[in-house]
Structure 1
Amino acid sequence: MSTPTDSTVRKLVRAVNSGDREGFLALLAPDATMSDDGSERDLQEWIDKEIFTVHGRMDVLNEADGGRRLVARFSNDTWGEMRTKWAFEIDGAGRITHFETGQA
């Protein structure tokens, strides 16, 4: 497993892998948004359904853009394991304003 260079993204991956929902939320800007496979999703609903109630895990395979773009093996109890891509937009305060994910 690779460790993302960007400190905010690194903390997010750690929060996912440790099941730390509050730690994950603390990394988000108040009006953060996200999309999955090109469709905007309700962020709170999505993270519970895809990560925190189904034991989501990320194994980072590689990164680009200083650690703000990842390819990872993502797994959860619902879908099993899949190769995914992630892209993060981060504000000047180090908080995620938007992220995109989907199958790679």
Structure 2
Amino acid sequence: MTIPVEQLADPVVRAFVTALNANDKDAFFGLLTPDATMSDDGTERNLRVWTEREVFSSNGRMEVEDETDGGRTLVATYTNDTWGSMRTAWRFTVEGDKVARFETGQATP
């Protein structure tokens, strides 16, 4: 069962998921602090290079299954045209109305 994006608890995370699913680079990057960072499966990544490859050029999208920590931790089915679908975990650090960091990777069963 998925949680509709508009029902996600944290407004910044909700906007992040909305921009990602819409493939809207301007909105997506507008939600990040200038020095935002990210990791994928525990490895630090260049945020712009990673999102271009894993999100924007490959039609990335996420369907949220569960949220905890006030909406700042998600479990979602993440799908893109390169890798197909996988169950993923996302953790967000929000500062004000921006995402300062996100960590993603495969979710444990």
TM-score normalised by length of structure 1: 0.97
User: Structure 1: how far apart are the matches of 2:97 and 2:65?
Assistant: 23
5+ long unaligned stretches in structure 2 = none
Counterpart position of 2:101: 98
Counterpart position of 2:82: 78
Counterpart position of 1:25: 29
User: Structure 2: how far apart are the matches of 1:47 and 1:23?
Assistant: 13
User: Structure 2: how far apart are the matches of 1:17 and 1:90?
Assistant: 19
5+ long unaligned stretches in structure 1 = none
Q: Deviations over 1:26-60 (max 9, x none)?
A: 00000000000000000000000000000001000
Identical-residue share of aligned pairs (%): 51
* Aligned residue type for 1:26: G
Question: Does residue 1:63 correspond to 2:93, yes or no?
Answer: no
Question: Where do 1:26-65 residues align within 5 Å?
Answer: 26-65=30-69
How far 1:94 moved relative to its partner? 1.4
TM-score normalised by length of structure 2: 0.92
Describe the SS at the equivalent of 2:97: coil
Q: Which runs of 4+ in 1 moved over 3 A?
A: none
User: Structure 1: how far apart are the matches of 2:67 and 2:50?
Assistant: 23
